[in-house]
Amino acid sequence: MQIDIITLFPAMLTGFLSESMMGRAQEKDLVKIETHDLRKWGEGKWQITDDRPFGGGAGMLLKPEPLCEAIDSVRKKESLTIYLTPDGEPFNHEMAVALSKESHLVLVSGHYEGIDQRVRESRIDREVSIGDYVLTNGTLPAAVLVDAVVRQIPGVLGAEKSLTQDSFQRNVLGFPQYTRPVEFDGMRVPEVLLSGNHKEIERWREERALEKTRERRPDLFSTKDT
């Protein structure tokens, strides 16, 4: 899989792309991720990429010409081009799984008040939001999408098992976890986890997970598929 990210702030992604899982996935050739500085396609001596909106109003918009040139220079016939925006489709586990099966993603992160509508209509296949809050630009949302998608690529996570245990794979939140020491700050690890009785442990975990889901995310039960 290949992912190209077009942004005005490529430096925001440097550490994210080289560290931990994202770094390892690329070393293992499971994914190739490239960032592209939109400024490179900016106009004139000042490499301008934005302008005022017609009709007035606060803020600036990304101009269509530099953005379209940037997109056209990286996209291919098989690419899926995604614009990160608070008014996009809500991102979720299902979408991450579906996107992990694509061969090429082009991610466009907006800035200011957004991008010219004609770019959305002519170049963008999907518009995605990472949640109901507004960030200062779409670069972190692009990173969030990349992280969730890349960990779904077979071979990226050490143990494939970790994927099947994902909370949102089965719409149940995680159970409480403990490691050594057995006693910490006056709190003991629940006895059942020390018992070696795998059936009991499994049952305890399932009960705690369902309890937490009922308390925090009752909405998940209406879409529960297991």
Residues of the binding site for S-adenosyl-L-methionine: 110, 130-135
| Binder among 25, 138, 149, 175 for ligand ADE (CB under 6 A) | 138
102 is catalytic: no
141 is catalytic: no
Q: What angle do CA 166, 172, 177 make, to 5 degrees?
A: 70
Give me the catalytic one of 86, 127, 205, 208: 86
Q: Which two tokens stand for residue 183?
A: 């006693």
# chain residues binding ligand ADE, by CB under 6 A? 11
In the complex, minimum distance from the CB of residue 186 to ligand ADE, in angstroms, rounded to a whole number = 41
| Binder among 25, 70, 130, 149 for ligand ADE (CB under 6 A) | 130
Which residue stretch of 4-12, 14-22, 80-88, 214-222 sits at the interface with ligand ADE (rule: CB under 6 A)? 80-88
**Residue 176 and residue 86: Cα distance in Å, rounded?**
32
> Which has the closest alpha carbon to 119: 94, 143, 85, 147?
85
| Binder among 129, 167, 169, 171 for ligand ADE (CB under 6 A) | 129
Is the Cβ of residue 62 or residue 172 nearer to ligand ADE in the bound state? 62
87 is catalytic: no
Residues numbered 27 to 66 that lie near ligand ADE (CB under 6 A) are: none
Is the Cβ of residue 70 or residue 172 nearer to ligand ADE in the bound state? 70
Burial of 133 (0-12, 13-18, 19+ CB in 10 A): exposed
CB atoms inside a 10 Å sphere around CB 21: 13
- The two beta strands, 187-188 and 183-184, are antiparallel
Residue 12 contacts ligand ADE per CB under 6 A: no
Residue 63 CB partners (closer than 8 Å, separation 6+): 43, 48, 49, 50, 51, 116
**Residue 115 and residue 105: Cα distance in Å, rounded?**
19
Cα dist from 32 to 3, 17, 97, whole Å: 6, 10, 18
Residue 133 contacts ligand ADE per CB under 6 A: yes
| Binder among 85, 96, 106, 149 for ligand ADE (CB under 6 A) | 85
203 is catalytic: no
The footprint of ligand ADE (CB under 6 A) covers: 84-86, 129-131, 133-135, 138, 141
Residues belonging to the active site: 86, 113, 151, 166
